[in-house]
């Protein structure tokens, strides 16, 4: 998760390139519950009509 450089902000009509802007911060106990490999940057559901200028990010915790 820490080294993932997948852009989380989408390309803008003004030409701004996608960048890595969003992430998830965990304290020590939650970091221990992180399921390795579960961090994901989701594709837009409708790229022609995005609901946000950021991609959704998620991960799984084993609680």
pLDDT of residue 2: 66
List the chain pLDDT tens, one digit each, 63 residues: 567 777 788 877 787 777 787 888 999 999 999 999 999 999 888 988 888 888 889 999 999
Q: What is the pTM of this model?
A: 0.72
> Does residue 2 contact residue 30 with C-beta atoms inside 8 Å?
no
Q: How far apart are CA 2 and CA 60, in angstroms?
A: 15
Domain hosting residue 22, numbered range: 1-63
Domains held by the chain: number:
1
């Amino acid at each position: 998760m820490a080294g993932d450089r997948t852009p989380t902000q989408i390309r803008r009509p003004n030409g701004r390139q996608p960048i890595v802007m969003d992430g998830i911060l965990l304290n020590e106990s939650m970091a221990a519950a992180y399921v390795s490999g579960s961090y994901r940057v989701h594709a837009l559901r409708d790229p022609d009509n995005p609901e946000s200028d950021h991609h959704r990010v998620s991960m799984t915790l084993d609680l």
